[in-house]
Amino acid sequence: MKKILVTGAFGQIGSELVPALKEKFGQDNVIAVGNRNIPEGFKGLVEKLRMPDRDGLESLIKKHNIGTIYHLVSLLSATGEEKPGFTWDLNMQSLKDVLDLSVENKIKVFWPSSIAAFGPTTPRVETPQRTILEPTTMYGVTKVAGELLCQYYFNKFNLDVRSVRYPGIISYKTPPGGGTTDYAVAIFYEALKTGKYECFVKEDTVLPMMYMDDAVKGTIDLMEADPDKLTIRTSYNLAAISFTVTQLAEAINKKVKVEVTYKPDNRQAIADSWPKSIDDSTAREDWDWQHDYDLDRMVTVMLTELKKKFEGEN
């Protein structure tokens, strides 16, 4: 079998997608590519590459006989606003390199877009698949440009490139940071560590969210789907759960006491520019997408797994 290469393999999504791909396709068929954050003692095939690096990527593709790339490298929304120029260079150049090399080497590509592709002029409730895309963050700008680039490569070069617009992803393996939606992760860490959380968005803020296992399942299912059934080559809307911070805190409080205070910062404006809920019916129709985790199930698994993680650290 041709091998699978994952860039950004040690980021939030890569850290959980890589083990899932290994489980499904075999330990020796997945190459994890990272830069600064490769964990000590990582078991498995790993390569170090600082992206963008077209030549470096090309040699990895040849060396490992790559047939599929999951290209996850990206700066996120909040970090991206600190370094907008670098965010454009990294996010766009690395994507273009992946697309060009994938045309040359007949590689199938997954690339994530995000709810950050939307902006203040987008309808915010049940946001449609095809709608206004006028984001205010550089991260969002790279997502809109990237979606169009993917669709262009599909139309022009027949490249099999597939994408989803992830909502905020909630997970326990990597620490929160860099994203606007990360309050919904950080609150769990603080609930267990201190019982207090100072939230950087207001209590009535609502954003679309998803538990990591659903995100991983959706990603692999889309890549396994029959290409003839796919009607979207920009990026599929993908949704699971939406809740206010108050609702999240209430769900956590049923199990662990957490006192939440609010001190909105510049991330509030980003959150306010994104949808509250997403219409993902096209993904549900085209490739049978469905989520498994509702708010309570997500809260239960987050608290259980984080407790185990903290106990292991002590």
Q: Which is nearer to ligand SER, 181 or 282 (CB)?
A: 181
Q: Please report, as residue ranges, which positions from 37 to 76 form the binding site for ligand SER (by CB under 6 A).
A: 76
* CB-based closest residue to ligand SER: 179
Q: Which of 139, 166, 197, 293 is catalytic?
A: 139
The residue behind tokens 């990582």 is 42
Say whether 148 sits in a helix, a strand or coil: helix
Compute the least distance from the CB of residue 91 to ligand SER, in Å: 12
Q: Are 288 and 221 in contact (CB under 8 A)?
A: yes
Stretch that binds ligand SER, among 101-109, 112-120, 149-157, 257-265 (CB under 6 A): 112-120
Q: Are 207 and 158 in contact (CB under 8 A)?
A: no
Give the whole-angstrom CA distance, residue 251 versus residue 248. 5
Nearest to 28 by CA among 46, 8, 49, 7: 46
Q: Please report, as residue ranges, which positions from 136 to 165 form the binding site for ligand SER (by CB under 6 A).
A: 139
| 273 is an interface residue for ligand SER by CB under 6 A | no
| 181 is an interface residue for ligand SER by CB under 6 A | yes
Nearest to 56 by CA among 75, 37, 35: 35
Compute the least distance from the CB of residue 160 to ligand SER, in Å: 23
Active site residue 139: yes
Compute the least distance from the CB of residue 82 to ligand SER, in Å: 12
Given 91, 122, 180, 205, the residue binding ligand SER (CB under 6 A):
180
| 240 is an interface residue for ligand SER by CB under 6 A | no
Compute the least distance from the CB of residue 224 to ligand SER, in Å: 23
Give the whole-angstrom CA distance, residue 76 versus residue 181. 10
Point out which residues pair with 273 in neighbouring strands.
none
State how far the alpha carbon of 289 is from the alpha carbons of 160, 236, 307, in Å.
19, 10, 30
Residue 111 tokens read as 């690339």
Given 87, 91, 94, 114, the residue binding ligand SER (CB under 6 A):
114
Instruction: Summarize as ranges the residues that interact with ligand SER (CB under 6 A).
Output: 76-77, 114-116, 139, 166, 168, 179-181
